[in-house]
Amino acid sequence: MSSDPLSLPPPPHRRVVVGCGSVSLDFLAAVASYPSPDDKIRTTDLKVQGGGNAGNALTCAARLGLKPRLISKVADDTQGRGMLEELEADGVDTSFFVVSPDGNSPFTYVIVDNKTKTRTCILTPGHPPLLPHELPLSSLTSALDEARIVFFDGRFPETALKIAREAAAMHIPILVEAERLREGLDDLLMVAEYAVCSAKFPKAWTNGASIVRALLSMMLRLPNLQFVIVTMGEDGCIMLERSVDDDSDSGEVDVDSLLDSLRLKRPNYTSLPTCTFSPKMKLTAKEIGTVSGRLYLGTAENIPPSELVDTTGAGDAFIGATLYALCAGMPPEKMLRFAAQVAAANCRALGARTGLPHRTDRGLTPYLQ
């Protein structure tokens, strides 16, 4: 259901965002329960639509009112042409795509288990991959013109780093998705102002004993980072934000103890996303170090089981909403609630894009006013 567009403030003045990363064609098959080896089962629902982390995140950003430009690569085949048409229909600028005359476009088989509400993905990568020489400097500077922020999902590492270095030279902020350990991801993180991580990444990257200790370690290893968010599905998210100024009079607290105290302060009996956060403090962990900043604890929407359909693309929706929030200048506590609400909306339909909300959807009105 849509709200009256006249009741909403205008979209952000600077709303061009540039993304580089994966697109794919998703073949989604919903089944009553995941099959055992050698089983033959029937689908309960079937959908074919565009996917890929960057493609999904920028589709989300477009529906929220931003002007995304996507840099990626497809083959000149039926799948590739279909993906480009779908992105363009949603308002994503695909003029910076590389279209290969041969090879194959990427595609993914997604099995959605109706019983456990999980999804299993089987990816066939595109070939050949996007290489730096395929993006000349003239195209790159044109893509970055007037950009408010640049987003990378960690794919095409050599090309991504070329874009990231040019963006950094132009003083354009960079957001990096850290889904898993990937070749070249460390180089992207070193120039990033913002990072959004999967639940497993921070501890895998730092060998931290807990998520918040790992986030603290990331902040110390990545001095350019302004904030890092870890998304945890139905368990919400945790964000560590670095303070711009170092207040020597602020208190010092162990990050694990601080997280425990924030959990005790979470509101009870609310289905909508919430956010609890600390004052600016010196956040510390033994044998790791200290960072001056704030810790945020966000909850996810409590979706009734009857409404939960598919979690495919929920993390991409969270990132798309984060891109919007950064362009709109939302404070972190509002940004986390907004991103959680957008991700929850996407979980109410099959596929990574079917449930992505539009800016005028009534459920988003409280977060945009």
What number is the average pLDDT over the span 117-146? 95
Instruction: List Cα–Cα distances, 17 to 5, 143, 185, in angstroms.
Output: 22, 9, 20
The string of pLDDT tens digits covering residues 224-247 is 999 999 999 999 999 999 997 765
Domain residue limits at 341 = 5-22+52-104+127-368
Asked whether residue 361 is domain-assigned, the answer is yes
Residues paired with residue 48 on neighbouring β-strands, in sequence order: 27
Asked whether residue 272 is domain-assigned, the answer is yes
pLDDT cut 70: percent of the chain above it: 97
Whether the per-residue pLDDT at 313 is higher than 90: the answer is yes
Asked whether residue 28 is domain-assigned, the answer is no
Asked whether residue 68 is domain-assigned, the answer is yes
Give the CATH number, domain containing residue 201.
3.40.1190.20
Whether the per-residue pLDDT at 1 is higher than 80: the answer is no
Asked whether residue 115 is domain-assigned, the answer is no
Angle at 141 between CA 136 and CA 146, to 5 degrees: 155
What number is the average pLDDT over the span 283-305? 95
- What is the average pLDDT value for the chain, to the nearest integer? 94
Whether the per-residue pLDDT at 248 is higher than 60: the answer is no
Asked whether residue 119 is domain-assigned, the answer is no
pLDDT of residue 251: 78
| Domains: count for the chain | 1
| Distance (Å, whole) CA 63 – CA 56 | 11
Asked whether residue 58 is domain-assigned, the answer is yes
The string of pLDDT tens digits covering residues 18-65 is 999 999 999 999 999 999 999 999 999 999 999 999 999 999 999 999
